[in-house]
Amino acid sequence: MKTALVGDIGGTNARFALWRDQRIEQIRVIPTADHARPELAILAYLSEVDQPLKALEAVCLACAGPVGGDLFRFTNNHWQLSREAFCRELGVKELLLINDFTAMALGMTRLHDGERITVCDGEPEPGRPRLVIGPGTGLGVAGLLPLSGGGWRALPGEGGHICLPVGSEREAAIWAHLHRSLGHVNAEAVLSGPGLLTLYRACCALDGQQVALDSPAAITKAALAGDAYAAAVLEQFCRWLGRIVGDNVLTLGARGGVYIVGGVVPRFAEMFLRSGFSEALREKGQMSRYFDRLPVWLVTAPYPGLEGAGVALQPLLEGA
């Protein structure tokens, strides 16, 4: 049985696992701040799970940011990686680098029962693309395209950096406030973990409110505990996510459905289901009916990025 290592590396955490017999095993989550380089984090992981480096057939790392060339700089952490130096230092024959949302999209093909919650009822249109999108340390966006012979192809992009849309006077005021400090206001400036805190602070500044909360977790906790102002900020977050999802559905033609992923939204899943997300999703004027019967799911699977990295790596292992 061949053994490979798969990694899903975001801005805050690196998740590693062994890939054996098309399954992930020995999962560990390592803060990226704990190690200077990804090679050191991998060596620490292998030591912890008692896996000899020489037994690895290949490595697949799903990385936040555009992948290409020898040198890769991670978008939201201090790591960088040279493919050539990585393979030389670790003695790895095969290194596959893929975008983290390529892995996330492929992970949707491995979901099990109970790992997604229905947000909007509907039926996937056969043969149509699906959208995979979600806030975490940043905002990830990818397409999932059905292949004529069966299977799926992930279509990665950098959709988190598109312009933040404005759909109301309130949103225009928030956007203007952010523009004064940020210049270009991209989607993940608001629709991410750090973005939730940015949104809260902007709302406080506009409303003359004291900034009483100092982290995304604190905002979510306060909203769930009944704090009306924190709940209103979270509602605005959900509505803006709806607008962005709707824009991407129209652009991709994603009548196959939408997967909401990432670590942020599942923390307030019940509030999200009651929010104005689905209303904002459909606010597209004459194209509003395009969203009739469009299925939207909130993904609660614990490690879809690792699963997707394994899916991406499997053809290479089978050809080795």
Per-residue pLDDT of the chain (320 residues; tens, 9 = 90+): 689 999 999 878 899 999 999 999 999 999 999 999 999 999 999 999 999 998 898 999 998 878 888 899 887 788 999 999 999 999 988 899 998 999 999 999 999 999 999 999 999 999 999 999 999 988 999 999 999 888 899 998 889 999 999 999 999 999 999 999 999 999 999 999 999 999 999 999 999 999 999 999 999 999 999 999 999 999 999 999 999 999 999 999 999 999 999 999 999 999 999 999 999 999 999 999 999 999 999 999 999 999 999 999 999 888 75
CB distance 193 to 137 below 8 Å: yes
Closest CA to 267 of 216, 227, 230: 216
Amino acid at site 49? V
Cα–Cα–Cα angle for 106, 108, 114, rounded to 5 degrees: 155
- pLDDT the model gives residue 75: 74
- pLDDT the model gives residue 1: 65
End-to-end Cα separation, the chain, in angstroms = 12
Strand partners, 140: 134
Return d(Cα 278, Cα 44) in angstroms, integer. 43
Point out the annotated binding site: 7-12
Q: How many other C-beta atoms can be found within 10 angstroms of the C-beta atom of residue 207? A: 10
CB distance 187 to 139 below 8 Å: yes
Q: How many other C-beta atoms can be found within 10 angstroms of the C-beta atom of residue 71? A: 11
Point out the annotated binding site for ATP: 7-12
- pLDDT the model gives residue 320: 54
Strands (E), 21-115: 23-31, 58-63, 71-73, 80-82, 95-99
Structural element, H or E, at residue 139: strand 139-146
List domains and CATH numbers for the chain. 3-105+303-319 (3.30.420.40), 116-299 (3.40.367.20)
Return d(Cα 127, Cα 223) in angstroms, integer. 40
Strand partners, 59: 5, 95
The SS3 call for residue 42 is: helix
pTM of the model: 0.93
CB distance 14 to 29 below 8 Å: yes
